[in-house]
Amino acid sequence: MRYDEEDCLPISGIQHFTFCRRQYALIHIERLWVENTLTFDGRVMHRQVEDPFYLESRGTVIVSRSVPLISTKLGLYGIADVVEFRSCEAGGVVLEGRKGMWQPYPVEYKRGRGKPDDRDIVQVGAQAMCLEEMLHTAVSEGALYYGQTRRRQMVLIDDSLRSRVTVLAQQMHDMYDSGRTPAPTKMKACDRCSLRDLCLPKISSHKRVGDYIRIMSKEKEVGNRPL
C-alpha cells in the first residue's frame, strides 16, 4: 500500500507514539502542545542543527543538514537533522560533482541522554527507511547524538527495526484516522511530560472523583507551605 503525500504524518510523531499513545493523540490529533524546559531545550538544539542548504565536507564524509524526507510506503514525512554521506566502495548513491559512491547515514540530535525505551531509535529507523525509498539504496546504520552526554549512539537498521517502524507507522495512521484519544495511563514518565497538566493522568488512576479531589487538595497544601 502507498499513501498519498497529503496523507503522510510527521515522522517526529513516532517518538510521541512510542512513548505514550495518549501523548501522540493530544499533540497530533487534538493539536495541543505545551512547552516545558525539556521541549524548549530540544527546540533550541534543533535550531542549531537546522541550516538549510548547508553542506559540509570532511574528507570522506559529506554532511548535509535539514534534509527533507518522505516515505509513501510508511506514510511519513519530516526533516532529518543531519544526513552524512560516507564514501563507500561497496555501494550507496552517486552525488553530483563528487566521485565514487556515498552511503547515506542519518543522525538525529537529541537533548538529554539515551532513553530506557526505543522511541529515539525508531525515529532514526523511520528516517533511514525514508532515505532508502527516496534514494533507492539500503541504509544499514544511523546514529543518535545526545546533547547532555555529547555522545553518539549507533543505530543498527536491521529487519527487526524496519518491521517495528512499519507496524508503528500503521498504528499511527489507524489512530489518526479514528480521531480518538486514548484514556490516560498514569506512569512514572508522566512527571516529565509537557502535557501533564492538560492530560490529567491522575484522574484515571482514581475511580472515585472524591479520591482525586483529596489528592489534589493535599498537593496544593504542600505547595502553599512556607519554605
Chain residues binding ligand SF4 by CB under 6 A are: 20, 22-23, 26, 184-185, 187, 189-190, 193, 195-196, 199, 201
Instruction: Give least dist CB 25 to ligand SF4, A.
Output: 8
Instruction: Give least dist CB 199 to ligand SF4, A.
Output: 3
Of 124 and 190, which has the nearer Cβ to ligand SF4?
Answer: 190
Give me the amino acid identity at 19.
F
d(CA 71, CA 4): 10
Of 81 and 120, which has the nearer Cβ to ligand SF4?
Answer: 120
Instruction: Give least dist CB 168 to ligand SF4, A.
Output: 16
Instruction: Give least dist CB 195 to ligand SF4, A.
Output: 5
Of 60 and 185, which has the nearer Cβ to ligand SF4?
Answer: 185
Contact 101, 109 (CB under 8 A): no
Pick from 157, 76, 77: which is nearest to 121 by CA? 157
Pick from 198, 206, 159: which is nearest to 20 by CA? 198
Tell the burial category of 218 from Cβ atoms under 10 Å away from its Cβ (0-12, 13-18, 19+): exposed
* Residue whose grid cell is 560516507: 86
Of 22 and 28, which has the nearer Cβ to ligand SF4?
Answer: 22
